[in-house]
Structure 1
Amino acid sequence: MTTTTTLTERYIGATIRSLPPAAQSDVRAELEASIADAIDARVEQGETPAEAERAVLTELGDPGVLAAGYAERPLQLIGPRYYLIWWRLLTLLLWIVPAFAAVGVAIGKILEFATIGETIGAIVVAVLMTIVHVGFWTTLVFAVLERTATDPGVEWNPDHLPEITERGAGRSEAIASLIFLVLAAAAILWDALRGFVRDGDVPVPILNPGLWPVGMTVLLVLMLAELVLALAVYRAGRWTVAAAVVNTVLAVAFVVPALALLVSGDLVNPGFIDYLAVEHATELADANAGAADQGGVLRVIGVILGVVIVGSGIWDIIDGWIKTARAKRA
């Protein structure tokens, strides 16, 4: 048996130093035996002990890689197990979240009567920051999963292939619904607590603070019900008549109160209107002059908002029944 040399000891030490203490002695014994046997085999073939040792250690490779194999620790940020899921989710989020951020910032700047340059600049900054945050946090979650989650033990088989004829009930729709509802809820809470519009250091909510707590709680409950419906449709794998009916009820439950509050003037915060009248008196006067035939700029905005509320509700109802009809034909 060849005596263990300093070079081998250095290699073994570099391998086991990152392993848990309980495993170091076993790994050391295994490596000492396997390296010594490999060196002896080479020496019997005519190599010198030094040449044999160097060749054996070279074949074993980087001790860090070898240690990762013993510890079952991945050396890549996201491995094959989660890579495709990460990539698909990241792509979906990058298509949706920055667009919503851009729309939200644009609406806020328009309501502040900001110039076109200020609006574009704010949108660009918001989109870039959103892309950075989405990429970072999504990747971080999957990197943690890669190192902490156990193997789900589910192997792919043809039963996992999606049905071509069943549209609108897939994972992407459930994720999109989740993202939209979370962003909407976050926007409502941000408006109430931090404010998209601020008068100095004081937030000026756009939505009427008088809607809290009852009105806004009902709205958040409806949004939660929409999320539960999206997850139920995803689990069922298709839209059903019952799901379409529930979707219709939820849409009506949102549109009718929202439209009633808009018409009565209780949807928008009166303090926000006063803020515009004081802080942006010139811009508001110019806008009212340009929209005098339509009853003023606030009336125009109210009509547009009403059309958006009703239109989104009608489209949501129609979309649910169309998907139900497709599922029944399939």
Structure 2
Amino acid sequence: MIERYIYAVTRHLPEKQREDIAKELRGLIEDMIAEQTGEREATDNDIEVVLRTLGEPAKLAAKYSGRPRYIIGPELFDKYITLLKIALPAVALAMLVASIVRYVSAPELIIGTIIGSTLGEILDAVIQAFAWLTAVFALIEHFAVDIVAKKWKRDNWDLVDLPELPIKEAAFKRSEPIVSIVFIVIFFIFFNFAAGQFDFYLPKNNGVLIQIFNPSVLHGYLWLIDICFGIGIVKEILKMVIGRYNLKLMIMNTALGIAALILALIPFSNFKIWNQAFVQQLANAGFITLPANFNPVQPVIIGAKVVIGLIIFSFVSETAHTLFRTFRYGVHEKKK
């Protein structure tokens, strides 16, 4: 019980502080138990009295960190700051890459114009990312936290709310959700701010611009694609909040994954979203030679089916991985 309490406190603190504060807290608890029991041997009831006196682990962690509570409380604050440190530079980098691609695709643009517009777009995107992340975490703090953390009514906290000590194999590597969020943000930026940049600029024959997508069709499905990105970010945030594989995470992750899969298949299974003339334009530019009576649309359809297959494979592999880790390690944590 003491170790579970210490873990519940220190998991809210920066990693470099956890070991020292764990030692300090363990010593404090031992002193309080000694004061409670005198020379007699401590009982479970004595330990429970001391731990209840110390109070809710999240609040005690906030005192150790010297951090007052704001819109985002101690349960989520560290993960919120970590995500900001990762997401904001990722957004800025994605916008910079999008601008570079835009310049390569249209070299006739003046570099000064590109730089000026890029700085404005980066600033706008970073502000939007900050606002959206703050809003998402604030909503989780005020609504989802009460569900995720065993009906977390802080005034009714009790020792039964202490989390189980995670086994090594059940815990996430800290980098896993962070890396995933970075890639999701990058693709989100490209689809929303540089959807027209999914193209090739071929310098041959005075320059030829060949697009991968049909911009008009893509634009109509953009809201569905954005929801998929949002679901992906929510899944990774849940991993950061929960911190380990368990049944609750498995159920939420699978449900969100199914929703994202269905939404993703709607736009990408419509072959009109792809540039049907992609192969023909390559041939017209002189980069490939098509056989006689060859249907140039067929390779586009095959490529679209490959993309759909990759989307389905990604969902199946991630879900299978989550199921395996959960049933192999996560469901045994209480027994440990």
TM-score for the superposition, normalised by structure 2: 0.41
TM-score for the superposition, normalised by structure 1: 0.42
Quick check: which has more Rg, 1 or 2?
1
